[in-house]
Amino acid sequence: MWTWRRLTTSCLYSCNMKKKDSSVFTEYFKELEEESIQDNFVVVYELLDELMDFGFPQTTDSKILQEYITQEGAKLEVAKSKVPTTVTNAVSWRSEGIKYKKNEVFIDVIESINVLVNANGSVMSSDIVGSIKLKTMLSGMPELRLGLNDRVLFALTGRDKGKTVVMEDVKFHQCVRLSRFESDRTISFIPPDGESELMSYRINTHVKPLIWIESVIEKFSHSRVEIMVKAKGQFKKQSVANNVEVRVPVPSDADSPKFKTSTGHAKYVPEKNLVVWTIKSFPGGKEFLMRAHFGLPSVENDELEGKPPITVKFEIPYFTVSGIQVRYMKIIEKSGYQALPWVRYITQSGDYQLRTNV
């Protein structure tokens, strides 16, 4: 018999180790905290019973679980006396009888860039973390076949690498037929309904920073701080970075800010000791400049402050750093209906840091 503390500790530990594991619980009660687990212990017991069978994963899709485990307040109700077919089906992640007036599937290829640049301008570490996400609105029980461009090589196929892009830590949704993928690299699957992550991957490679930052920070003791930041787009001229934010750290005792920018606008965020320079649209190949002036108190702060890095946030549509592309998406369903696939590419900043000398 599980005690309160064992149940709570087990749930919180499992979900902290793998954040995705918490999605089932948060579908039932918004926040996964010790109090919410205790208030909904009946639901937690039922979910754990369905999620695992003799320690092995069983039904893990929250949409399927909600078909026969429902909740009203903190109570559990059995909505159907008959167990849904999805539980005993080979395709446990998709219900039967789904119908749409317009059949469509949206594919998002999203890549996040992690970069760490030292104060001398050398890239210390970099990698790409990517995912392919789907929003499926298809009737019936369709089979989808997704083909990626020849530049992409999956590390687990063991093929000759050559000049291809090597993907590591590749993870697929349970719907993907791995045997088919291993034989011809075709991603074949019956998709879950609605939104899902088809696959995720990591590319451990040298990445040229897409937005390069040069900074000069001069601190005059008991007087002022002068900051000059130059941002340069190091990506294709036909591409545009949207909603760019350059976050520059300033001393905690700085005051009286004054700014001058060649584009966008800058603001002081005193609670975070930051200057945030926002550029709504940043074309590739362009350079922009921001200058900031801060006053300093006549009495210097005795506390030693660290040297936090400059961080950058951005999003570049219609572009992937790795060069991955969807070659085709085939949709096969026994009724023979026509369906429209839509593909979108997005590159965005991940952990993007540039260290400073000051």
Spatial CA neighbour of 132 closest among 191, 196, 89, 228: 196
User: pLDDT higher for 36 or 273?
Assistant: 273
Mean pLDDT of 257-276: 95
Please say if the pLDDT value at position 241 is more than 90: yes
In whole angstroms, give the CA distance from residue 7 to residue 48. 10
Joined tokens for residue 186:
């075709």
CA distances in angstroms from 180 to 124, 166, 171, 263, 300, listed in the order given: 38, 19, 15, 51, 67
pLDDT at 309: 94
Q: How much is the pLDDT for 216? A: 92
DSSP 8-state symbol, 335: T
| Main-chain dihedrals φ then ψ at residue 186, nearest 5 degrees | -85, 130
pLDDT of residue 182: 82
Cα 146 from Cα 164, distance rounded (Å): 18
Q: What count of other Cβ atoms lies within 10 Å of the Cβ of residue 121? A: 12
HSE-up of residue 129 (Cα within 13 Å, Cβ side): 10
Residue 284 identity (one-letter amino acid): G
* 122: enclosing H helix or E strand: none
pLDDT higher than threshold 60 for residue 72: no
Residues 324-358 pLDDT 10s: 999 999 999 999 999 999 999 999 999 999 998 76
Given the DSSP bridges, would you call strands 187-189 and 152-154 parallel, antiparallel or unpaired?
A: unpaired
pLDDT of residue 19: 45
Contacts of 345 (CB under 8 A, 6+ apart): 109, 317, 318, 319, 320, 325
For 53, other C-beta atoms within 10 Å of its C-beta total 10
Pick the closest to residue 325 from 114, 151, 173, 104 (CA basis): 151
Paired tokens of 160:
């000759």
pLDDT band at 92 (very low <50, low <70, confident <90, very high): confident
Collapsed DSSP state (helix, strand, coil) of residue 143:
strand
Rounded to an integer, what distance in angstroms lies between the CA atom of residue 351 and that of residue 358? 21
* Domains defined along the chain, listed by start: 11-87 (no CATH), 104-207+321-354 (2.60.40.1170), 211-317 (2.60.40.1170)
141: left (phi over 0), alpha (psi -120 to 50) or beta: beta
State residue 303's pLDDT score.
56
State mean pLDDT over 227-234. Answer: 96
Is 57's pLDDT higher than 90? Answer: no
